[in-house]
Structure 1
């Protein structure tokens, strides 16, 4: 299997396999959870649904020569639209230091100019190719971290336009099912939403029902 072929496993199965192998929970956000390897040198980012993740992976690969993005060890697209990234372990940095990195990136300061060029190129590609790609970079300070060599790196700068996408699941599910094939969004209601809080059960059920109804109506 090449690094970007779809894994035969979903996000739950991947998490279970890694936990059984000694990986331990080390964080969670809105779109993904993270596990740390037994030797502490790697982290696994596991998402049940993340259409923008391949563009983040593209950034890590295309900007690797700058040494200002995380080292990526493996990437797999998972059954149902999920995503697995295994990368080097990173440590958090002070919020002011992170904000300064974001500012320099936005201003294309000399020390991050090459990274800024790759970021812009991949972001423009995502905007062209993915209907629900986020219009702006994610300037959350938590996305700037430090690796074992002491260098600052930028992670998770891209994302799907979640508020617009999930509003459409409720208000215009036909648009969603005609732009994202069912096999690529099967688990889109299973996001951890650790930062913003989980959907109430009735909202989650409404989304699932709306998508199933729209899928049925979209059948030839």
Structure 2
């Protein structure tokens, strides 16, 4: 993909202005992007030419650190090529990156082991991963303490190289438990504009919340916001 083609993504995002995850998905689908995957935090669409993918999340606290990793470790050629990034209204996130293919679970596990051991072939990447992860842990109280070593996070790009994606995550179980059990902590650590859609994440892997649970979360946060603003 040429620099001009990459800049087109940035220009498109600039024209769209301030939008949320629902508008992004609708606009891309209307432009011919097709669904190609979904997880707990995001859905993915593939570009019409097949060379790029869009990761769209309604709410993602740690995505800026993932983007920082992709940019700061780009020289290693062991992270996905990032074409465009935009924070979305309500705490969501959009990343447009090169298309990646899955790899064998054993091969992926081997890459994760090499990264954890800082083996020579991934040493530079490991250093950037550690640096950005430590930064996230300092900045963000809901940052997961460990890297996500899911084999699905190791993929292969069109050049045949293995790359590491989505190594960082939020401590979801603790965060969403706190929404009900300690909402004051949530509203004082995550501004309302950055968590407006926090109950809209797909939860494709673990299953969606029952409607009554989602309603309880909304009520809990609304009450805590009112108390905090009083």
TM range (shorter): over 0.9
Q: Tell me the SS of whatever aligns to 1:218.
A: helix
Work out the CA distance in 2 between the residues paired with 1:115 and 1:165: 29
- The runs of 5 or more residues in structure 2 that have no matched partner are 1-9
Matches within 5 A, 1:125-144: 125-144=135-154
Higher helix content, 1 or 2: 2
- State TM-score, norm by structure 2: 0.93
Asked whether the equivalents of residues 7 and 77 of structure 1 are also in contact (C-alpha less than 8 Å), the reply is no
Deviation digits for residues 33-79 of structure 1 (CA, Å, limit 9, x no counterpart): 00000000000000000010000000000000000000000000000
**Residue 112 (1) aligns with residue 140 (2):** no
1:23 maps to: 33
The 1:106/1:7 distance shift into structure 2, 3 A limit, reads: farther
**Residue 83 (1) aligns with residue 107 (2):** no
The 1:7/1:31 distance shift into structure 2, 3 A limit, reads: farther
* Cα RMSD (Å): 1.7
Q: Tell me the SS of whatever aligns to 2:37.
A: strand
Matches within 5 A, 1:7-22: 8-22=18-32
Work out the CA distance in 2 between the residues paired with 1:144 and 1:54: 19
Matches within 5 A, 1:44-123: 44-123=54-133
2:5 maps to: none
1:181 maps to: 191
- State TM-score, norm by structure 1: 0.97
Displacement of 1:95 in angstroms is 0.2
**Residue 160 (1) aligns with residue 170 (2):** yes
- The runs of 5 or more residues in structure 1 that have no matched partner are none
The 1:30/1:161 distance shift into structure 2, 3 A limit, reads: same
Asked whether the equivalents of residues 7 and 78 of structure 1 are also in contact (C-alpha less than 8 Å), the reply is no
Work out the CA distance in 2 between the residues paired with 1:7 and 1:149: 33
Work out the CA distance in 2 between the residues paired with 1:107 and 1:123: 16
Deviation digits for residues 67-113 of structure 1 (CA, Å, limit 9, x no counterpart): 00000000000000000000000000000000000000000000000
Work out the CA distance in 1 between the residues paired with 2:72 and 2:204: 30
Asked whether the equivalents of residues 24 and 35 of structure 1 are also in contact (C-alpha less than 8 Å), the reply is yes
Asked whether the equivalents of residues 31 and 50 of structure 1 are also in contact (C-alpha less than 8 Å), the reply is yes
